[in-house]
Amino acid sequence: MITGYIPYGRQDISADDIEAVVSVLRSDYLTQGPIVPAFEKIFTDYTGAKFAVAVNSATSALHIACLALNVGSGDVVWTSPISFVASANAAIYCGASVDFVDIDPRTYNISVSMLRAKLEKAKKLNVLPKVIIPVHFAGQSCEMSEIFELSKQYNFRIIEDASHAVGGEYLTTKVGSCKYSDICIFSFHPVKIITTGEGGMALTNSELLAERMNLLRSHGIIRDPLKMQKHSPGPWHYEQATLGYNYRMTDIQAALGMSQISRLKDFIDRRRLLAQQYDWLLRDFPLIRPWQHPDSKSSYHLYVIRLLGANYQSQQLRVFNYLRDNGIGVNLHYIPIHIQPYYSQMGFKPEDFPNSLAYYKEVITLPLFPGMSDTQQKEVIQKLTEALL
């Protein structure tokens, strides 16, 4: 059966989604209207966090989250190498330096035991990080309760990079609740769980941090006369209090996001079902399926497999090419950040984070998106079977 090319991820846009966007285009405000605050309110209601700041990308959210926590020159920020480069770049934007903690070989999230060991060492050398950015890889939450405990002991702040994890759960919380962090950020890029085209969101329970991020997303400008340093000479007056950016989300984007989040449960249910079916269909294959921590309920942004075998590196390339050549849009998440030329030039060596490197040489991301049919999934399995022969 010919079903055409199967991408690794794809947005799902309904007629209602389109109608929501069109209605904003017909309204008075394309940006800075009522829809962005309404979208933020849905997120605080959904996650339980007190404040939400919508922005034009998760990268912008990471940047203003770091700035709100006063990350600057002389500071160090830690994250894990198996992530998109933006998780590390945000700290560099602020003039800080970046270091990494290797991944847990089961979850591919930051390893708590290696984090603990690295913190102990850093304390002795007086080079403790100011902020740690745990990345909820593939939609599975990091072990936040343990990381939160360590943050009290070693006095660092936490930004969750939950770009993959809208709709994920951890212990009794929704990812985004910020019960175990200062700030949690989401991405609404089209391959992620819900989309606004481009877009992101920062959540927090701190009014101070929310205010700072609000200011930073719109040029550092204050319009409330009560908050101005100088007496306002008239209603035209605004004050630039700090150096901010234009990281605003438009109402067009927020309208798409509002319509999309009303479909979140369906998206997540379908992703979880497809993942469960993959687990079953792949049960006898010579590969490692995604292991799930009992404390976490993944949103399954990605389904990654690790190929087993002595000649893994060449086998990975062969399998990857075979699938791509046969209409299966496999991908690879991620090239470890520390081996990117920009980061190796800072002195990182590939073998500095051996779990990440070993993972990278074996992993392949299989297609997974809510609009994927069971037939398409069986086709993926069929082609993978052929590739492994």
Q: Which residues of this protein are in contact with ligand PLP, per CB under 6 A?
A: 57-59, 83-84, 86-87, 135, 161, 163-164, 187, 189, 200
Shorter beta-carbon distance to ligand PLP: residue 108 or 376: 108
Shorter beta-carbon distance to ligand PLP: residue 247 or 348: 247
For residue 169, CA distances in Å to 242, 268, 289 come to: 36, 11, 20
Burial 133-160 (b: 16+ CB within 10 A, else e): bbbbbbbbbbbbeebeebbeebebbbbb
Least distance (Å) between residue 175 CB and ligand PLP: 13
Alpha-carbon gap, residue 229 to 243, rounded angstroms: 15
Instruction: Give the up-direction half-sphere exposure of residue 164: CA atoms within 13 A in the CB hemisphere.
Output: 28
Least distance (Å) between residue 67 CB and ligand PLP: 16
Shorter beta-carbon distance to ligand PLP: residue 162 or 209: 162
Shorter beta-carbon distance to ligand PLP: residue 137 or 278: 137
Q: Which helix (H) or strand (E) holds 152?
A: helix 144-154
Sorted by sequence, the CB contacts under 8 Å of residue 27 that are 6+ apart come out as: 33, 251
Least distance (Å) between residue 123 CB and ligand PLP: 28
Alpha-carbon gap, residue 24 to 32, rounded angstroms: 12
Least distance (Å) between residue 245 CB and ligand PLP: 14
Shorter beta-carbon distance to ligand PLP: residue 54 or 282: 54
Sorted by sequence, the CB contacts under 8 Å of residue 276 that are 6+ apart come out as: none
Least distance (Å) between residue 107 CB and ligand PLP: 14
198 three-class SS = coil
